[in-house]
Every structure is written in structure tokens, then in C-alpha cells.
Amino acid sequence: MSNNTVLKGVFLVGLGATSYGMLATFVKLAYGDTGITGNPYTTAEVTSSQFILGIIGILLINLFQKNKNKNNVKKASSRNIFQLMLAGTSLGMTSVFYYLAVRYIPVSIGIVLLMQTVWMGVILEMILEKKLPSKQKVISVIIVLIGTVLATNLLKNEIQLDWHGIMWGMFAAGSFTTTMFTANRVATEISSAQRSLYMLLGGAVIVFGFSIATQTTPFNYDIFYKWGIIMALFGTIIPPMLMNAGFPLTGIGLGSIVSALELPISVMMAFVLLGEEVIATQWMGILLIIIAIVIMNLNFKRKQIV
């Protein structure tokens, strides 16, 4: 693989991760806004508008690819569709849990909790493959846990964290771990646009079910054009398309390292646009988490070369 091809992959994955990193800040801004009914936007309205507009966007991309490539695009089978929609339910749960988390806690803390997928992924891999993790992965997990303590400022206890936010944040990390494992293993033979569409449809089942169960006020339909378009672009359209295109060019190891950009971007967006306080020890914890991701994936890359 040429250097230009790898560089292109790094660029695509980096843009996708940057887009994801901006998302939580937009969600927080939406929470601080009010709709035509005069009520603040709810989690149900935020997630529903994002998924509906995201599905429409991905559907248009699929139609464009079909017309462009005519009969060269492999169609998903009924089995593929079922598997992808089932896998997509974890995507829907991730959105609901994560958006509930940032309602109670700062975005800079929420993204750190989401990054607990590093050690959760190691545990899930250990269970599925029935073997102990490597020393490098164990070291990475320890570094992540130390980084989390620093990034959430638990030692100085200067930030009072709502336990609801911690709980939803950890649930989001758990469901996101499932999403990452299934996304790279289910129906990989069909196009990324088709895979994204059917996973979104599966996620929509969860999101709409949550919305029906929790929406007690009149629905603010203006969420669709005020915030829904932005969140659909940065959460459900741009990132999966760019990252699905970039990962095959970078490989899993390098791609995972580059995708860690999501963490500092999310914190910086919250710092600049939301005015969230992020002290030096928190930045140190964030850096440690990124280092842990690098250590884990450099080890994976070496194993491939050998």
C-alpha cells in the first residue's frame, strides 16, 4: 500500500473522528434551546430528528451510488439486512445513553466515559475468544483507568458529577463497544452505505421506542431544521461514510489511533463553545487515554507484520 493511499485513509478517518467529536457539543447546545412550544428540546426529540434525517441522507447516498454504478452494487440479502438491523440496535442505544449522559454531566466528562470502550473491548474480546489479553492490552487498560481518574478529576473532587450522568455514560460505553465489534464483522461484503442504512434503521427502532415511552410534552418539530440537520450530518452521515472508507486504507491499528482524535476534539469543542472548565490534570488524563489507545494498536500492527 502506497504512502499516498495510507495518508488518504488517515485524512478520511481523522475527519470522521473530528466530526464525531463535535457532536456532543451540538447536543448540549440543543438542550439549552427551546422549540416552538416554548419547552426545551428533549433527548427524544434530539435523537429522533438525528436518526430520521440521517436515514434520509444515507438513503439518498445509496440511491446515488446505485444510479452511478448501476448493477455493480451488490445488494444486501434478507439475512444481511436482519443482521445489520440487529447490530444497529446497539447504535441506537449508544445515542440514547450518551445523549442522556451529557444532559447530566459536562461533555468533557461524557466523552471520557465513552472512551471506556478501550477496556470494555478487551474484556469482550477475552470472553468471545476465550483467551487472556496480551501484556500490552493489560498495560493499556491500566493506563486508561488511571487516565479516567485524572480526566474526570476524581482525586481533587472539584467537579460534582451527577450519578445519573455517570450511569448513562457507562451504559453508552458498553453499547458502543458492542457497536464497534459488530460493525466490523457483520455483512462486510456489501457497500458501507448499505451497511450504514440498515444499521441506522435498526437503531431507529430503539430511538423511536425510547421517544414514544419518554416524550410527555408536545413534540418540537422545529428541532429538525434547527439542530436535527447538524446532528444528522455530524453524527450519522459524515462519520460512518468517511471512517468506513478510510479504515480499509489505514488498517485497523493506525485507523484506531487516528480515530482517537474524537476525544481531544470533543473536549476542545466543549471548552470553546460551552465554556466548560478543563484543568491541567484532566488534559493529562485525556493524553493518557490516547497513549493507551496508541500502545494497544501499535502492538496489534506489529503482530500483523510478523
pLDDT band at 304 (very low <50, low <70, confident <90, very high): very low
Angle at CA 167, nearest 5°, toward 166 and 172?
95
Rounded CA gap, 77 and 75, in Å?
A: 6
pLDDT band at 102 (very low <50, low <70, confident <90, very high): very high
Rounded CA gap, 70 and 228, in Å?
A: 31
pTM: 0.86
Q: Minimal CA–CA distance to 92: which of 263, 207, 213, 240?
A: 207
Average pLDDT over residues 227-238: 91
Tens digit of each residue's pLDDT (9 = 90 or more) over 46-89: 999 999 999 999 999 888 877 777 667 678 888 989 988 998 89
